[in-house]
Amino acid sequence: MFVDEAEIIVRGGHGGRGCVSFRREAHVPRGGPDGGDGGDGGSVILRASVQKHTFLDIMQRATYAAEDGRPGKSKNMTGRSGRDCIIELPLGTIVRDAVTGDVLCDLVTDGQEFVAARGGRGGRGNKAFATATHQTPREYEEGEPGEERRLALELKLIADVGLVGMPNAGKSTLLSRISKARPKIAPYPFTTLQPELGIVDLGDFRRLVVVDLPGLIEGAHRGVGLGDEFLRHIERTRVIVHLVDVGDPHATPPAQAYRIIREELRQYSESLAAKPEIVAATKMDLPGAAARLAELRAVAGEAIGISAVTGEGVRDLLIRAVEKVDRCSSPLT
């Protein structure tokens, strides 16, 4: 199950209480105060991990709390600090304060950490209050409370290439052809119900990360179909591969299908529409595809004809994608 939104409460541990104690030993008539400080509370730390792909595990708990610091002890012993609570999140997680809506951090690299709720400082023991004129203090401090926040988590997948197009344009078939991903493939609309990631091995230690999004239809940016729920994932991609079905004579005419998807991208985000695009005409193995490819090129300009079934044009498409990815800056721009 793919979960890309979650809300949790994080709570830092309380600092430990300071100790009130006086040294009592044989042959030490003036031992004086020896109460140690309390330990600091643990913090809640968010950590980006390539091993995580969804918020499904995170949603199993509503509250994440770090351990409290332990009280101070006699003989000037400081209490043990509380253990940190570490929450691993997928790369591409945007963390917001659920109350104010402010963005607190954007986790985009493996191992990146953010302290979401700091633990409280431990209280001082009575030893800290001793002075030349106040030699038997009984004062001490309670530990400080830890921070508490309600966080809203949003996932935007990070990939080199994003596959977009109308339902049944052949996105899932292409992804299964070029990677080891096995998305569901069937001859009806909206077969893909959630984003699918695939790794394309190009040899020479080079690879592409490709994400297949559910099919878009007119009005997707307003929530029609599954569009607005997953369009944000393509904002993290460097290059868009726009697939248009030219093989099915009963499908939306290629030129019209191209215009619909381009308009939906523009309506959702101007920056999304401005991303580098490669147009690929799919299902070139079917009769009449060549004529419909010419119709598409009249509107979209250059378009690569491919067939995920026979492999026609797929290598050329990947080479073109690599060239564009190499010319692009960070996927976050």
pLDDT on residue 200: 85
How do strand 148-155 and strand 63-65 relate by DSSP bridges? unpaired
> For the stretch 266-291, what's the b/e string if a residue is b when 16 or more beta carbons lie within 10 angstroms of its beta carbon?
ebbeeebeebebbbbbbbbebeebee
Contact between 66 and 11 (Cβ < 8 Å): yes
Rg (CA), the chain: 29
Q: Which residue is it, tokens 């299964």?
A: 176
Contact between 198 and 173 (Cβ < 8 Å): no
DSSP string, 227-264: HHHHGGGGGG-SEEEEEEE-S-TTSPPHHHHHHHHHHH
pLDDT on residue 205: 62
> Angle 289-300/254-268 helices, nearest 10 degrees?
40
Give the domain 1-155 fold. Answer: Spo0b-associated Gtp-binding Protein; Chain: A, (2.70.210)
Averaged pLDDT score across all residues of the chain: 85
Is 161-327 the same fold as 1-155? Answer: no
Domain residue ranges in the chain: 1-155, 161-327
pLDDT of residue 262 exceeding 50: yes
In what helix (H) or strand (E) does residue 35 lie, and over which residues does it extend? none
pLDDT tens digits, one per residue of 40-59: 999 999 999 988 878 888 88
Euclidean distance between CA atoms 122 and 312, whole angstroms: 67
pLDDT of residue 318 exceeding 80: yes
pLDDT on residue 188: 40
Whole-model pTM: value is: 0.69
pLDDT on residue 165: 87
Give the domain 161-327 fold. Answer: Rossmann fold (3.40.50)
pLDDT tens digits, one per residue of 115-154: 999 999 999 999 999 998 898 899 999 999 999 999 999 8
Token reading at 299: 């509107």
pLDDT tens digits, one per residue of 157-216: 778 898 888 888 888 888 888 887 665 544 544 444 467 778 888 877 677 888 887 766
